[in-house]
């Protein structure tokens, strides 16, 4: 359910509330799995930029996290 943002058939951007996740900041440009869920101290972010782009972003995040640990 959208609480603040835009909800088009092909794109959803903004603050949405989901039964499973609660309140999240959603950037869904393409409805292709897998999505990326980032859980921060104050908010959850869901990225849906398409399968290929999400995989690229995931690899970058994974490398950054590995270097920091």
* pTM of the full structure: 0.84
Question: Per-residue pLDDT tens for 23-60?
Answer: 999 999 998 999 999 999 999 999 999 999 999 999 99
For residue 30, give the H/E element and its range. strand 22-30
Q: With 90 as the cut, is the pLDDT of residue 10 above it?
A: no
Q: Which two tokens stand for residue 65?
A: 């996290």
DSSP tally for the chain: helices H, then strands E: 1, 5
CA dihedral 38, 39, 40, 44 (to 10 degrees): 80
Residue with tokens 């509330």: 17
- Domain spans of the chain, in order of start: 2-68
């Amino acid at each position: 359910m959208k609480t603040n943002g835009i909800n088009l058939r092909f794109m959803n951007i903004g603050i949405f509330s989901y039964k499973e996740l609660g309140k999240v900041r959603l950037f869904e440009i393409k409805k292709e799995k897998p999505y990326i869920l980032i859980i921060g101290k104050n908010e959850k972010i869901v990225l849906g930029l398409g399968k290929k782009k999400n995989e690229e972003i995931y690899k970058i995040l994974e490398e950054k996290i590995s270097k920091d640990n």
